[in-house]
């Protein structure tokens, strides 16, 4: 084990730090206090272990995260409003929690619901789920202004572009549906 850890070097340290910053405990009896990732065999996506034995320090969810990218070869549908696609580039669409059985969590924290058009509009995507109300507050793009992060807002407006809706509405959708299951981001 020690040899494998030393080969990873600083990358492993950064990964361990990132893993502790992105910790979601979705199963009962998981210990958020047993942070032994560096000393254990690596856990692969969808391992055969019992979910209650998985150290949530090491694995975001018992299943994994799905990173979705998008390549621009179409239009936004909002060019008349100044919303254009970047040229010769790709972007992140979303980072979603995913379980090994094909299911996933969504809209987990309705106190952090910023999606103006929730779809599906229930927490489990079924008629028996908790209703997810549309967000009617301030444009989510304004949330960065008090921090003076106009550079980040400009970057997002250039590279994290929505299709058939305004960018802040898309950002609110991605955060509320896919990021709210994470305890910390």
Mark which of 12, 37, 60 sits at the end of a domain: 60
User: Are residues 12 and 3 in contact, defined by beta-carbon separation less than 8 angstroms?
Assistant: no
| Neighbouring residues of 164: CB distance < 8 A, sequence distance ≥ 6 | 76, 77, 78
What pLDDT is attached to residue 26?
46
97 plus 179 within the same structural domain: yes
pLDDT in tens, 108-132: 889 989 999 999 999 888 899 999 9
Are 13 and 95 in the same domain? no
Are residues 106 and 134 both part of a single domain? yes
Task: Name residues whose C-beta falls within 8 Å of residue 112's C-beta, 6 or more positions apart in sequence.
Answer: 175, 176, 180
Q: Is there a single domain that holds both residue 67 and residue 28?
A: no
Q: Judge contact between 140 and 168, C-beta under 8 A.
A: yes
Q: Beta-strand (E) ranges in 72-157?
A: 90-99
Question: Residue 112 and residue 16: Cα distance in Å, rounded?
Answer: 26
Structural domain boundaries, residue 165: 63-185
**Residues 73, 22: one domain?**
no
Overall number of domains in the chain: 2
User: In the 8-state DSSP scheme, what is residue 79?
Assistant: G
Task: Give residue 91's pLDDT.
Answer: 78
Q: Both 184 and 131 in a single domain?
A: yes
Q: Examine the domain organization and report whether 27 and 49 are in the same domain.
A: yes
Does 145 share its domain with 72? Answer: yes
pLDDT of residue 15: 40
**Same domain for 109 and 98:** yes
DSSP of 29-71:
T--SS---GGGSPPPPSS-SS-GGGS-TTT-SSSEEEEEEEEE
Domain boundary among 60, 77, 95: 60
Of the candidates 44, 60, 76, which is a domain's last residue? 60
**Helices assigned H by DSSP within 24-180:** 150-159, 167-174
- Given this model, what pLDDT does residue 70 score? 73
**pLDDT < 50 stretches in the chain:** 1-28, 30, 34, 185
Same domain, 54 and 75: no
86 and 26 in a common domain? no
pLDDT at 182: 67
- Are 67 and 152 found together in one domain? yes
Domain with 129 in it: what CATH number? 3.90.730.10
């Amino acid at each position: 084990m020690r040899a494998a850890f030393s080969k990873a070097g600083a990358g492993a340290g950064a990964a361990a730090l990132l893993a502790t910053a992105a910790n979601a405990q979705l199963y009962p009896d998981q210990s958020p206090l047993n942070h032994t990732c560096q000393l254990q065999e690596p856990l692969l996506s969808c391992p055969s272990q019992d979910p209650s034995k998985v150290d949530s320090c090491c694995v975001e969810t018992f299943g994994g995260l799905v990173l979705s990218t998008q390549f621009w070869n179409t239009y936004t549908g909002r060019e008349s409003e100044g919303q254009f696609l970047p040229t010769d580039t790709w972007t992140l669409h979303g980072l979603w929690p995913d379980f090994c059985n094909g299911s996933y969590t969504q809209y987990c924290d309705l106190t952090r619901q910023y999606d103006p058009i929730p779809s599906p509009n229930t927490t489990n995507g079924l008629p028996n789920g908790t209703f997810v109300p549309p967000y009617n507050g301030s444009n989510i793009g304004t949330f960065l202004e008090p921090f003076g992060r106009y550079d980040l807002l400009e970057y997002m407006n250039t590279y994290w572009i929505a299709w058939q809706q305004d960018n802040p509405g898309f950002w609110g959708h991605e955060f509320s549906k896919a990021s709210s299951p994470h305890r910390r981001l």
